[in-house]
Amino acid sequence: MKKVFQYLLFLFTMPLYAGAEPIELDQVISYLNSIETLGADFRQVNHDGSISKGVLYIKKPGRLRMAYASPDTTVVIVNDEFVTILDSKNSGSHQRLSISNNPLRLLLSSKFELNSEDSIVDFNSKNLKTTIIVSDRKNKNLGTLEIIFNNKPLIFEQWLLTNSLNEKVVVNLSNISVGDEFKDTLFDPGFEFNKITNKP
C-alpha cells in the first residue's frame, strides 16, 4: 500500500506509417471533449520499473476509479476535487489528497481547457502518434502530464506523469471502451469504504 501510494502521489506503439497526416491540436481537444465515460484495463509502470495492473473507469466531470489487481489491494477514487486512496486489505485505511495541483485533473474536466495556470509545453504529431505535454506555468515543481494518442483512429492510450525529481509513472490503456454507463457508486469513496469495512 505505502509503495503504491508513493507512486500515486504524482500520478489516467504503432508502426511507422509513411504519409500519415499529422493531427492538429484542436482535433485532439475535440476528441477529448467528446469522451463522457471511458473504461479500460491499465498497466502502470512505476519509476522503479515495477508494474501494477488493474481496471480504470472515467466518468466526466471529475470522476475516476483505478482498481488495482491482486496482489495489490488498492482502490483509487477521484471525485470532484479530491483523490481518495483506499487499501481494501487493511480495514479500508485510506489517504485523501487534493487533485487541484495535479495536471491529471485536465483529463477529468467536462472540457479539456487550459486555464491561466496551465501551459502546453509541447505538442507533436507524427508517425501515427500524437503527444501533448502540459505543465503548470506558475509552479514547475508540480511536474508535467504527457498525454499520448494513436492517430489511426485517434484514440487516447497512455499518460505519463513526471514529478519535479524527474521520476515518471506511465499508465498504458488497453481494451478501451467509450460511452458505457457507470454507476455513481463506483466513484463514491464513502460507499467503497463501507463496502470494505462491512466485509464478513
In a domain, 78, yes or no: yes
In a domain, 165, yes or no: yes
Tell me the torsion sign for CA atoms 62, 68, 74, 75. Answer: positive
H helical segments located in the chain: 2-8, 25-34, 105-108, 189-197
Q: Are 133 and 145 in contact (CB under 8 A)?
A: yes
User: If pLDDT is split at 50, 70 and 90, which confidence band does 193 have?
Assistant: confident
**Above 70 in pLDDT, residue 127?**
yes
In a domain, 189, yes or no: no
In a domain, 10, yes or no: no
Domain carrying residue 156: 20-180
Range with lowest mean pLDDT among 1-15, 64-78, 134-148 = 1-15
Q: What is the pLDDT of residue 13?
A: 28
Range with lowest mean pLDDT among 1-15, 60-74, 110-124 = 1-15
Please give the average per-residue pLDDT across 43-70, as a whole number. 95
What's the rounded Cα separation, in Å, for the pair 1 and 65?
16
Q: Kindly report the CA angle at 125 between 123 and 129, in degrees rounded to 5?
A: 115
Please give the average per-residue pLDDT across 17-24, as a whole number. 61
Q: What is the pLDDT of residue 3?
A: 55
**Could you give the percent of the chain with pLDDT greater than 70?**
82
Instruction: Report the domain count for the chain.
Output: 1
In a domain, 73, yes or no: yes
CATH number at residue 140: 2.50.20.10
User: If pLDDT is split at 50, 70 and 90, which confidence band does 112 have?
Assistant: confident
**DSSP for 25-70?**
HHHHHHHHHH-SEEEEEEEEE-TTS-EEEEEEEEETTTEEEEEEPT
Range with lowest mean pLDDT among 16-25, 119-128, 133-142, 179-188 = 16-25
155 CB-side CA count, 13 A? 15
In a domain, 3, yes or no: no
In a domain, 190, yes or no: no
In a domain, 197, yes or no: no
Instruction: Name the residue among 177, 184, 174, 158 with its Cα closest to residue 11.
Output: 158
Please give the average per-residue pLDDT across 31-42, as a whole number. 96
Please give the average per-residue pLDDT across 87-101, as a whole number. 75
Strand partners, 38: 58, 178
DSSP code, position 171: E
Of all residues in the chain, what percent are helix, strand and coil, respectively (each to 5)?
20, 45, 40
Enclosing H/E stretch for 140: none
Q: What is the pLDDT of residue 197?
A: 75
**Above 80 in pLDDT, residue 129?**
yes
